[in-house]
Structure 1
Amino acid sequence: MTAMWRVLVVFCTLSVLSLSYGGDIKAKSCSDVRQAYTAKGFSLVNVPHQEMSGEHLRVCPQGYTCCTSDMEDKLGQQSKLEFENLVEETSHTLRTTFVSRHKKFDEFFLELLDNSEKSLNDMFTRTYGKLYMQNSEVFLDLFTELKRYYTGGNVNLDEMLNDFWSRLLERMFQLLNSQYHFTDDYLECISKYTDQLKPFGDVPRKLKAQVTRAFIAARTFVQGLMVGREVANRVAKVNVAPACIRALTKMLYCPYCRGLPGLKPCQNYCQNVMRGCLANQADLDPEWNLFIGAWVIGASLISQGH
């Protein structure tokens, strides 16, 4: 069930199940209205004690009424406020879920990357000592670029990994032939034949496949969480159209003006009004469900280490 459908169900359930206290349909007194009106936090100044002619009303029926023009305006504003608050509250869990999941995954993946860099650095330092330390920037640059890719940087993974192996080959070739001096053109020529020479065997191909798969999945997943959060934030900020406010006021508060503050709308009526107010959000429903489905599958695959 989508967040917008939950808004509809919750709002209409609350409207129908709200406690209604008696008001005689034939009664001319506005005492019940005054009690309900002040319970909403409004002042009773200029609120009538008895029904009066309602020609001044613009939203509610213009028969005998307990509402002044000011009351009708305030009840319209109250309808809008209650609707906005309900949408905000209902979508809050969804939004906080995206935020917390993004934070946890981001911290987890960056920690994983940092630990990998540290482990490799410690192992190579123990194994090759000063020789590695003098050339460690090749590996440091690799991890810097991997982090930049993951965080949304404009990095071509394939080109970056190819460049890493080319740089590593040039360094090793120079170290193994330290008695000679090689020009940049000569070293560049050597790096061009890396695929044919295969000085590192099949390691570059296997590593490229593993790194590319892992980082594309991680970056796509974390960006999906960010997109979901932004969509949820925007959808939660409902632009309440004047027609929606009128419909909400008629449904929720025009009974006040008729002297029947306890009268509540039927379920179908309430749902129709809510569908109209959430029409724009409802258009997102198919795409949103596809996004959530893909996100759940992605989370499952990553958690399984695929």
Structure 2
Amino acid sequence: MSRGLCQRVNSCGSAWILSALVFAVNVIDVDAYSCHEVRTAFQLRQVGPPQRVPETPGRDVDLMVCKHQGPSCCTRKMEESYQLAVKRETLHNIQSYSYELEHLISGHSDAFQDMFQYLLSFSQGHLSSLLEGTYSSLSRQALPYVNQLFSSLSLYIRGANVSAEASIHQFYNSLFPLVYTRLINPGLEGGMTMGREMDDCLRMIRQDVNPFGPH
């Protein structure tokens, strides 16, 4: 896309400078003793200082573009001014197209983020409802971990320095002690006090047995 854009802009710029220079050369056919029309066009297009246009046609052996056998209103300084003007206009066009492209990409990015945020909110509500309806014995203790997980995922989508994988590991590490003591072995909670050592032990077991799958 950028290559096509540059070709289009460069072709327009080349046509513009050539038409201006041809006008500067051919104007002598209308009035061989004055460069007034050339100076007027040169000034209206803001190509450069009007002093660079001679009062009358002459010969400039240093011409590179608008070479002419006879007298001409074109000078080497004018050629340089036209070349700078074309570069300036080309750069302006590229920046304009780049701004439009940046705006388009930014709009799509915002739409994607909004959609992901919606999916996260929907998933969080669905998981919370599942815990409350199916695993009511641990839902109250598990809901803070659910909220923490989806809060971290939301920050991750916004570009924050958050690891999605680490957030999921932390969620399962926090959830497994509850699952083990409330669902798998509910008598364990009444037989001993859950402490940090027990939580660490259960987390190590989770990594070995993978009760939630390979996470």
TM norm structure 2: 0.68
Confirm whether residue 49 of structure 1 aligns to residue 60 of structure 2: no
- 1:93 and 1:135 mapped to 2: Cα distance? 47
> How many residues in Structure 1 have an aligned counterpart in Structure 2?
200
What's the counterpart of residue 136 of structure 1? 143
What's the counterpart of residue 114 of structure 2? 107
Deviations 1:109-156 (A, max 9, x none): 122112211232244345556852343111112212323443352416
- 2:37 and 2:168 mapped to 1: Cα distance? 76
Q: Give RMSD over aligned pairs.
A: 3.9
Does the 8 Å CA contact 2:38/2:73 hold for their aligned counterparts?
yes
User: SS of the residue aligned with 1:79?
Assistant: helix
What's the counterpart of residue 153 of structure 1? 161
User: Deviation of residue 7 (structure 1)?
Assistant: 1.8
What's the counterpart of residue 34 of structure 1? 39
User: SS of the residue aligned with 1:135?
Assistant: helix
Confirm whether residue 165 of structure 1 aligns to residue 193 of structure 2: no
- 2:2 and 2:133 mapped to 1: Cα distance? 55
Higher relative contact order (CA 8 A, sep 6+): 1
- 2:2 and 2:150 mapped to 1: Cα distance? 40
Q: Which runs of 5+ in 2 are unaligned?
A: none
- 1:32 and 1:141 mapped to 2: Cα distance? 74
User: SS of the residue aligned with 2:110?
Assistant: helix
User: Deviation of residue 188 (structure 1)?
Assistant: 1.6
User: Deviation of residue 40 (structure 1)?
Assistant: 0.5
User: Deviation of residue 93 (structure 1)?
Assistant: 4.0
What's the counterpart of residue 191 of structure 1? 203
* Structure 2 CA distance for partners of 1:58 and 1:133, relative to 1, 3 Å: farther
What's the counterpart of residue 213 of structure 2? 205
User: Deviation of residue 68 (structure 1)?
Assistant: 6.7
Does the 8 Å CA contact 1:34/1:44 hold for their aligned counterparts?
no
Confirm whether residue 94 of structure 1 aligns to residue 101 of structure 2: yes
User: Deviation of residue 12 (structure 1)?
Assistant: 0.9
* Structure 2 CA distance for partners of 1:71 and 1:10, relative to 1, 3 Å: closer
User: SS of the residue aligned with 1:89?
Assistant: helix
Find runs of 4+ consecutive structure 1 residues off by over 4 angstroms: 17-22, 24-27, 42-45, 57-65, 67-74, 126-131, 195-198
Rg larger in 1 or in 2? 2
- 2:193 and 2:84 mapped to 1: Cα distance? 82
* Structure 2 CA distance for partners of 1:75 and 1:15, relative to 1, 3 Å: closer
User: Deviation of residue 92 (structure 1)?
Assistant: 3.9
- 1:192 and 1:160 mapped to 2: Cα distance? 17
Residue identity in the other structure for 1:188: D
What is the percent sequence identity of the aligned residues?
A: 18
User: Deviation of residue 171 (structure 1)?
Assistant: 2.1
User: Deviation of residue 181 (structure 1)?
Assistant: 0.5
TM norm structure 1: 0.51
* Structure 2 CA distance for partners of 1:25 and 1:45, relative to 1, 3 Å: closer
- 1:110 and 1:69 mapped to 2: Cα distance? 61
